[in-house]
Structure 1
């Protein structure tokens, strides 16, 4: 099939892209300036660091912060583009020549869909990688003792064919993938469905390698039996590096492409994955979120300028965008707390906003 894009559609797309570039430039400038001041306050006052190094740290954080502000970039970018067309009476000419509101908003929807997919699949991995470098550089500059996090009590749970294993350890050595003073509690599930402790294996260290734990100085203790020294042994496991060492990471620091594997491995290890599932669903909804922001902007600017009140409608559209953002943040908080399923918390606001905006445009276009 041969799909042809009309000259007017290409013109609208160029105007919208120009509006997005202007909006992105303004938002990026604000992000860099605000974060530069914040890094100067939090790092520059604690260590001797040049303004150039602070700027590099700020630029490392910028892509991830830019990704999080994409809905506002699209809201104000499309709002700016269509308001300019409206004020110059170009929308009046389009509507008078029979160009429907749906054909006007189609380029914005297509651009939102394409850039939303690119934002989740390309911008997010780049932002996550640079943010990890930022955190490492910041910790090195400020002499943050990362061992404080590693020294927290470790708890893991792994399902087996006849029960499950509860793993506890006193400290995590991330660089060598090693647990210090680990204890493996083996439970069997009886016919009544209740777990019974079968045995306990403790060791001096347990190093995670491909598919098994390498234990040093292992000692086995079964109920009613004397301890048995096992020495250096290996125990099979389905736990991988992600579920063990990324459990303390913020979901924002995990790439779009790494999230599914992290969620699967964390579930197999018995770890809570709600925050990571919410992040994953949030990235999947990014194209729809950008479409919702573009539709809000379109709905607020389709009122013809000659009828008056166009500026007020544009301001109302901007306020509606902030209201949607507030509602989405509330739903995200409920999702992180486990009150709402991650799927509902991530998809409810953009889906409802899209439907309401489409309904409004349909009512103004078709009556």
Structure 2
């Protein structure tokens, strides 16, 4: 049995290895269009490879996917984060969890993961061919069985009994045309995981200042996210923004990346509790200068800028702070409006939402419901997670299920 795996990324490697290990008689050929294998694994997590997330409850894990989480729930019970950790440990790669839940190899080096996958592919007998771009897949009926002809850009034709497509996400819709030709519906690709550009940001001078806990929400929408927030020279970044960009990917795309975000610098406060605390501070420290002493654990430079936004005179003391400035300070702390205009891709960790419509895939086996013998895994599917190891876990999970079914 000849199996072709298209795409030499995380999902393709995992599918190929799983298939070859489960059926040593199968001939597994992995085709990668570039001359580099596992390139996204190499750059992820700042070159450390964020393998998965430290959460071993599949129903909870599946909630971190803006798209595809519901469909992944059962799959994660078969092969989730726990199984991923065990898989790598059995093959000599120990993983560790960091305080935010991200899991990395203890070496802090993505090459450890790359070498492990390449070595396992070699041991399992997977054949690998680079610079082999597949331009089309043609199903051929032969009596009562079907096989596939893969046309490569160099003119070569490869015959396969079954095919796994794991070509990753594509930012351009036409990148999926060769799969549309097989009858599949594509959810239009739009960017996910990006930072907010705010050309008119009053806080640009504070680039590099971060707060460990802020809430960012979108005016007029139910979209919001809490987490660390980073001020940059172009706007705002950090997990709160990146994760919000994933949940709102389609909405932001429709808005052409022009919308108003509201930042709550003190997410644990309500308006009532905030006013009460300011009043208490005012009574306890009437002679202190408002701008000079940061409250709520906020960085001093940020506090100073927020008092300026509230038009608090530089040398005014708490005892002399007018009510209108107190009101403006409350607004700045709870609902600072940020006119977003544009986005910036987050490092190399670009993720595209969109891809093969999951209704056309059997999520237990990853086989196409339209074309028996054709399978999908990884980001080519309309599945994407927030940052933190969730996209790689989707690759391992779908790759594993596809590999088992192919075998």
TM-score normalised by structure 1 residue count: 0.26
More strand by share: 2
Q: Determine which structure has more spread, i.e. the larger CA radius of gyration.
A: 1
More helix by share: 1
TM-score normalised by structure 2 residue count: 0.24
Greater relative contact order (Cα < 8 A, sep 6+): 2
